[in-house]
Structure formats: structure tokens, C-alpha cells
Amino acid sequence: MKIVLEHLTKIFKNLDKRIKEPVIAVSDFTFEIPDGSLIGLLGPSGCGKSTTLNLISGLEEPTEGRIYFGDKDVTDLPPEKRGVGLVFQNYALYPHMTVLENIMFPLGNLRGEDRLTKEEMRDRAVHAAELVQIEGLLERRPAEMSGGQQQRVAIARALVKSPEVLLLDEPLSNLDARLRLQTREEIRRIQRATGITTIFVTHDQEEAMSISDLIVVMKDGAVHQIAKPQDVYDDPVNLFVAKFLGTPQINVFSGEIRDGKLMIGPEAVFAVSGAEDRPVTVAVRPEGFLPAADGALSCELKRVEVMGRDTSVVFSHPALDAVQGRAIVDASLTRDLEPGAVRFSLRPEKTHLFDAESGERIRCRLTRKEEEHV
Amino acid sequence: MFKKKNLKAWLYLTPALLFLAVFMIYPLLDVVVYSFEEGYNSASQSYSGVGGFNFSYVLRDPYFLQALKNTFVIVLITVPVSTGLALLVALGLNSIGPLKKMFQTIYFLPYVTNTLAVGLVFMILFKKTAYSEGLVNLLLKLFGSPGVDFIDGPWWAKILVVCIYTVWIVMPFKVLILTSALASVDETYYKAARVDGTSKPRIFFRITLPMISPMLFYLIITGFIGAFKAYSDEVALFGTDLNAAGMNTIVGYVYDMLYGDSGGYPSFAAAAALILFAIVFTITCINLLVSRKHVYY
Ligand SMILES: Nc1ncnc2c1ncn2[C@@H]1O[C@H](COP(=O)(O)OP(=O)(O)O)[C@@H](O)[C@H]1O
Ligand SMILES: [Mg+2]
């Protein structure tokens, strides 16, 4: 089922009573979520991700805007009429019930012609448990299970009513690193197996990138970019998105376009076409650095960290917005590097320019000096 | 067995254990001894024999039987009523938004009010004097009932006042405990239930009640024990001669046997006290057994 959000806005009264100003938790969110896709809602904590999920599930009413499931306007429907399954960050499994009872609980709410017998409930619960591969744990209580197992139970409980939409609020944040990796594959598998339209919330960019069909990047209630994971990474619309995605973080320099050249400090690193002279912020992905004797950018190399196939080159530069930056470079190219002066040439496709004030992306063409000569 | 660490722990516990031994265990054993000493004379501190006579005397004493009946009625009425009402009030308090704090305070006021002041209020409400009928009787008359003397009248009227008084006294604490128990139930359980379309009653019985069951159970057990030990409330309402008022309780009976007008019979007092102990012990065991099945920890 496709989900359409139209100018969705949610304004809260401030929880802190001393502050009169309302909190805009979600602001003018418009998006059509394709049927059967897995959407990653990504943003720092407090940016309105949970609120967006709550609006879609019906737990919160929007201040403005409409929500459609398929062609049906569900904005005014209560949660139980929408057919959504919701998995909470802390799982919210009822601790006094066994796994089976937990999974069966939503089925017990069905009334009228939907009403199920005990056997039917059990069958469907077992089926849901099989889907998430916890059929061996049905008689356990939540406290007797690991975080990952609890997570699966929560997903089974959300799926047992065969909802058309599955919403997951930070499903992995309570798991340890290894389990997180495993569970996110699992979520992807379950989503593929059921074909259910799924939105999952995370503040971890790697998580979002690894399993989503589309990523929605939010900040302060506003949607900044909606695109495929690779596109968000390769083609960020603003500095916030560029900085939020990617580990190690993108390296940010302050620079300037002067006479058609991109200047970082005194050095001209690229020729620029399609943008007028102005101060800019230059962001370079770690993999955009190439050590080269005739490289355009000279930095101070601090140390080289070995990571296996690649190395992480830690450097400093006066125009850098942080104490140090990081470049990821093939190990064969860093063998001879010593702490001290080092020159990099930059890859244009890994370098993005942003307005120095607003942080908006400046679209232009960058070319290396040496390429110009050819 | 006794590792160094253990030894240290026992050392720390010693003062408390000594205290308990002197002020709890010794008197308790003494009570048991007293209860089997027949024909004890407190003046000469001598007794004529050993046996179960004290128990059979007490169990046949009409005053004791009256006290037993009163105590049981008080227990069976006030524990469920006060716990149930407290739960209702706590649920109400928990669901109101803006004035919650204020109402919480109001409901807690009786707890910090002097019992004598509460007794006085009950007098004004219920007592018939030469000058006044009592507020409740005035109300009853409005509805055409002849009214009844609640303090010196029939047994049912008096026990009714006792029960209302007891409920009034014990409720604030229960309300306090239950409001905090309800408030500590994680909000997301309710959200999860709402998304699943769970009805209000089902939420209450399948989620809220099990979640607060440890607290509820604690209140029921302590409520039972407290109600079995009822005495001061009755005195506040009917004065110290409870036998005459027909309002005595088991603890009151024990006290009378020791110090009352019929006092000076520590053996009978000890026997009555042990009977009370047996009753409370049995009921608490039953409570614990029931809780195993129904309380989730
Ligand atoms: N019920 C509420 N009342 C007032 N403010 C709220 C409420 N729920 C969330 N907020 C505020 O809305 C903003 C977004 O919250 P949330 O959606 O929970 O963020 P996220 O899930 O992305 O961390 C936060 O500033 C938060 O304080
Ligand atoms: Mg959140």
C-alpha cells in the first residue's frame, strides 16, 4: 500500500511550560511512499522522526496536512482502523505475558465478524513467530530473552494482524553492534518476504543507508532530502545532509570562488564553471583525497592509521572546520608517507560546494587544473 | 561455611538482632508461655497448672466472640472497599490532566490530619446529642427516614460508622501508592495497545492491573494485617469501654484483659493474642498463595 503524506505538520506546546514558543516537531512533510518499499527516516535525535511515525500510525493527530493510505484518506481514522503495525524503540512487550500471549494479544481485540477462535489466533501467532524465527521461544517471557529476540517478538506482534504498513521506531538502537548488523538484515528479509510497506526510523546513517530503498533525511522537523541511499551520499542537497551521512565524516573547509577558481586558503584546487565568485564551504569525502606530489592542496599529515586494505590518513589544515580531517586512501599509496607536509589532489565528484551562509548546495562544475591543460 | 565476609555481615547485623531478640522474640515466647499457664495470679506471679484452658475460656467468652465477629466484619468490608475505592480514585487522578497535583494533595490530606480531628468530624456527622441530630441524620430525615443513632444505636449502624471511618483513614495511603504505581506504568504499553485497538476494559484488566499487581497485593496484605489489628479507630469513636458498646475488637479484647476494668488476666490476653496471630498468619499465607498465581513481578 502506498502512503501519501501531504503538507504534514505537527506543532506541540512546549513541554517546558516556561517557554511559550510552540515546538514544530514536523513541518510541511510531503512525500509519496511507494507501495512495498522500505523507507529509512534518518535524522538526529529530536528532529521529529518519532512524531512522524506517530502521525502515520494515528497515535498523534496532525496540526495540518493529510495522510492517505492508497487512495483512502486516513487522517481522521483512529490507529486501530488504519491497519498499521508499530514496533517501539523499547519493544513495549507486555512483561507479564509469554511470547505467544504477546503475539496473540492484538488478535484478541478483533470483534464482530473478524473475531477469531483460540485455535485460529494461535495458528496466526505461530505463523508470525515463524516469520521472525522465534517459534522455539513461545513460552518464554520477555525478561528471559535477549534484546534481539525481544525485537523479533515485537516485530511478530506488529505483523500478526497482517497490517498494510509496518512502522519501526529506532528498532536497532537497543541492540549491541553485532546484533544490530544481524537484525537489520533480518528486517530487510522480513520486509521482502511480506512485501509490506515499511518505514523505519533511525539516527544511525549507516543503518539507514544499508537497508533502505529510499532515505528521508530530517532535521528540526523539516525534510531535507529524499533519495536513494547512494544518491543522498553522492549528491547531498545541503551541508547538513553531507555532514550527517558517511563515516568517517565529510571534511569541511572554508573556501572561496575567486576568478573562476576554487580557493582553499592560498591554493587554487579546482577550476569552477557555473558559479560566480563568492565565499563557499567546501566539503570533501574522505575517499576524495589522493596523495600526489603535485596535488593542489597542501596539508599537515599527522599520522596514518592502518585499516587493512585502506588506510586512514589523519591531517590538519588551517581552513578545516575541525582540528583534524581524515582521508581514506588505498594502502599502497600511503606506504611512504611521513608526518609532515603532504599534498593531496582532490576528486571533483567527491567534492561539494555549499553556500557559506545558508549551507545550500552550489551546483557547478569542478575541474582539476591539470585536466584543463590537457 | 563462615567465611570472613560472612562474619563481617553477621557483625553488622548483631545490634539489630540483639534488639529484635530482646524486644520481639523474648516477649513473643513469653506470650506463648503465658497462654498455657492456667489460673495465673499476677499478684503472686504463680499459676496452678499447664494446659489449654485459657484458649477454651477465651473461645467461649461472649465478649471475645463479639470482638471476633466485629474484627472479621471490619476486615472483610474495609479491605476490599478501601482498596477498590483507592484504585478508582487513583485511576481518576491518573487520567485528569491539569488539576492532578491539586487533587492528589486533597486526597492525601486525611493522611496528615490528626486522627482526633477526624474523630471529631465523624462525631459531628454521626452523633446524636441533646442539641443536634448529627448531619447524616438530618440528611436521612430529609429523605423521610426516621434516622438512627449511629453512636449509641443498633450494632449495624455502629459497625457501619466504624467501617466508613476506617476506610477514610486508610484510603489516602493506598491512593498515594496506587497513583504512583499507575504513573510508573510505561506509556508505550498503552500506545502499543491503542495501535492494536484494545478496548478500555481489556487494557485495564490485561495490562494495567497486572502491571500494578505487586503494589495492589502489597496493599491487600498490609491492609488485612492492619484491619485485623483494628482498635484505635473504635476507641476514637466509642470511647474505651468497647465491650459495653458491643464494638470491641480482638486487639481491644487483649487490651481489656490486661489493663481494662476486667483486666489482670494476662493468660487470657496471651491466648487471645495467639488466636489473632494464628488468624493473621493463616490469612497472610492464603494471600501469598493466591498471589503466586495472580501477581506478576
Ligand atoms: N508530546 C509532546 N509534547 C511536546 N513536545 C513534543 C512531544 N513529543 C515530541 N515533542 C518534541 O518534538 C520534537 C520531535 O520529537 P520526536 O519526534 O520524538 O524526535 P525524534 O524521534 O526524531 O528523536 C522534540 O523537540 C520533542 O521535544
Ligand atoms: Mg524518537
State residue B262's pLDDT score: 67
**pLDDT above 80 (res B145):** no
Is residue B211 a contact partner of residue B185, using CB atoms and an 8 Å limit? yes
Give the one of B192, B199, B296 whose C-beta lies nearest to A86's C-beta.
B192
Question: Burial letters for A229-253: b for 16+ Cβ neighbours within 10 Å, e otherwise?
Answer: beebbebbbbbbbbbbbbeebbbbb
Please check whether residues A105 and A29 belong to one and the same domain. Answer: yes
Split at pLDDT 50, 70, 90, the class of B206 is very high
Look at residue A316 and give its three-state secondary structure. Answer: strand
Average pLDDT value over all residues in chain A: 91
Please check whether residues A298 and A324 belong to one and the same domain. Answer: yes
Give the one of B196, B202, B210 whose C-beta lies nearest to A80's C-beta.
B196
| Listed residues: CB within 5 A of ion ligand 2 | A 50
Task: Choose among A284, A273, A280, A282: nearest CA to A257.
Answer: A280
Please check whether residues A232 and A253 belong to one and the same domain. Answer: no
State residue B226's pLDDT score: 93
B196/A94 touch (CB, cutoff 8 Å), yes or no = no
The amino acid sitting at A100 is: L
What's A237's domain CATH number? Answer: 3.40.50.300
Q: Has the ipTM of the complex gone over 0.90?
A: no
In this structure, which residue's CA is closest to atom 2 in ligand 1? A12
Please check whether residues A223 and A293 belong to one and the same domain. Answer: no
Split at pLDDT 50, 70, 90, the class of B211 is very high
Last-in-domain residue among A214, A243, A272: A243
The pLDDT > 90 percentage for chain B reads 48
Give the one of A90, A96, A105 whose C-beta lies nearest to B196's C-beta.
A105
Look at residue A255 and give its three-state secondary structure. Answer: strand
A199-219 residue pLDDT tens: 999 999 999 999 999 999 999
What average pLDDT does the segment A7-24 reach?
A: 89
Interface residue B191 vs chain A (CB under 8 A): yes
**pLDDT above 90 (res B174):** yes
**pLDDT above 80 (res B133):** no
State residue A374's pLDDT score: 40
Please check whether residues A201 and A167 belong to one and the same domain. Answer: yes
Interface residue B141 vs chain A (CB under 8 A): no
Residues 6+ apart with CB under 8 A from A76: none
Tell me the ligand closest to A44's alpha carbon.
Answer: 1
**pLDDT above 80 (res B128):** no
Looking only at the bridges linking them, the beta strands covering A361-362 and A351-355 are antiparallel
Tell me which residues have their CB closer than 6 angstroms to ligand 1.
Answer: A 12, 15, 23, 25, 43, 45-51
What average pLDDT does the segment B72-93 reach?
A: 95
Domain count across chain A: 2
A&B contacts, CB < 8 Å: 54
Dihedrals phi, psi of B112, to nearest 5 degrees: -100, 5
Shortest distance between the Cα of A92 and any Cα of chain B, in A, equals 5
How buried is residue A177: exposed, middle or buried, by Cβ count under 10 Å (0-12/13-18/19+)?
Answer: exposed
State residue A373's pLDDT score: 45
In this structure, which residue's CA is closest to atom 13 in ligand 1? A25
A94/B207 touch (CB, cutoff 8 Å), yes or no = yes
The residue among A307 and B145 whose pLDDT is bigger is A307
Last-in-domain residue among A226, A243, A260: A243
Q: The sheet that has A289-291: what strands, in order across it?
A: A289-291, A340-346, A297-306, A310-316, A325-330
Residue for grid cell 593531496: A344
Q: How far apart are CA A246 and CA A7, in angstroms?
A: 29
Task: Give the range of the structural domain holding residue A301, as residue numbers without chain letter.
Answer: 248-372
Please check whether residues A187 and A260 belong to one and the same domain. Answer: no
Q: How far apart are CA A126 and CA B232, in angstroms?
A: 58
What average pLDDT does the segment A262-280 reach?
A: 92
**pLDDT above 60 (res B2):** no
Q: In angstroms, what is the span from residue A200 Cα to ligand 2's centroid?
A: 11
Strand partners, A219: A222
> Which helix H or strand E contains A72, and what residues bound it?
strand A72-73
Please check whether residues A212 and A296 belong to one and the same domain. Answer: no
Which of B101, B190, B196 is best to mutate for the A interface (most A CBs within 10 A)?
B196
Nearest CA in chain B to A166: B195
What average pLDDT does the segment A256-279 reach?
A: 92
Interface residue B294 vs chain A (CB under 8 A): no
**pLDDT above 60 (res A360):** yes
**pLDDT above 60 (res B20):** yes
Please check whether residues A236 and A253 belong to one and the same domain. Answer: no
Please check whether residues A210 and A313 belong to one and the same domain. Answer: no
Which of A17, A80, A110, A157 is best to mutate for the B interface (most B CBs within 10 A)?
A80
State residue B297's pLDDT score: 66
Of the given ranges (A100-109, A276-285, B2-11, B31-40), which has the lowest mean pLDDT?
A: B2-11
Please check whether residues A89 and A219 belong to one and the same domain. Answer: yes
**pLDDT above 50 (res A26):** yes
Split at pLDDT 50, 70, 90, the class of A158 is very high
Q: Which atom of ligand 1 is nearest to the CA of A218?
A: 22
Last-in-domain residue among A243, A272, A306: A243
Of the given ranges (A6-10, B16-20, B42-46, B230-234), which has the lowest mean pLDDT?
A: B42-46
Question: From its phi and psi, is residue A356 left (phi > 0), alpha (psi between -120 and 50) or beta?
Answer: alpha
A121-133 residue pLDDT tens: 999 999 999 988 8
Of the given ranges (A206-220, A283-297, B120-134), which has the lowest mean pLDDT?
A: B120-134
Q: How far apart are CA A256 and CA A288, in angstroms?
A: 19
Shortest distance between the Cα of A93 and any Cα of chain B, in A, equals 7
Give the one of B189, B195, B210 whose C-beta lies nearest to A80's C-beta.
B195
Task: Choose among A344, A252, A240: nearest CA to A291.
Answer: A344
State residue B126's pLDDT score: 84
Q: What is the DSSP letter of A147?
A: H
Q: How far apart are CA A192 and CA A211, in angstroms?
A: 11
B103-121 residue pLDDT tens: 888 888 888 888 778 888 8
Question: Measuring CA to CA, how many Å separate B84 from each of B71, B178, B184, B225, B292?
Answer: 20, 11, 19, 17, 21
B231-270 residue pLDDT tens: 988 888 888 888 888 889 999 999 999 887 766 788 899 9
Please check whether residues A132 and A198 belong to one and the same domain. Answer: yes
A42-57 residue pLDDT tens: 999 999 999 999 999 9
The pLDDT > 70 percentage for chain A reads 98
Of the given ranges (A141-150, A189-198, B163-172, B287-296), which has the lowest mean pLDDT?
A: B287-296
Which residues, numbered 160 to 189 in chain B, qualify as contacts with chain A under a Cβ-Cβ cut-off of 8 Å? 186, 188-189
Please check whether residues A52 and A154 belong to one and the same domain. Answer: yes
State residue A370's pLDDT score: 57
In this structure, which residue's CA is closest to atom 26 in ligand 1? A46
Domains observed in chain B: 63-265+277-294 (1.10.3720.10)
B196/A81 touch (CB, cutoff 8 Å), yes or no = no
**pLDDT above 90 (res A138):** yes
Compute how many other C-beta atoms are within 10 angstroms of the C-beta atom of residue A20.
Answer: 8
Compute how many other C-beta atoms are within 10 angstroms of the C-beta atom of residue A57.
Answer: 22
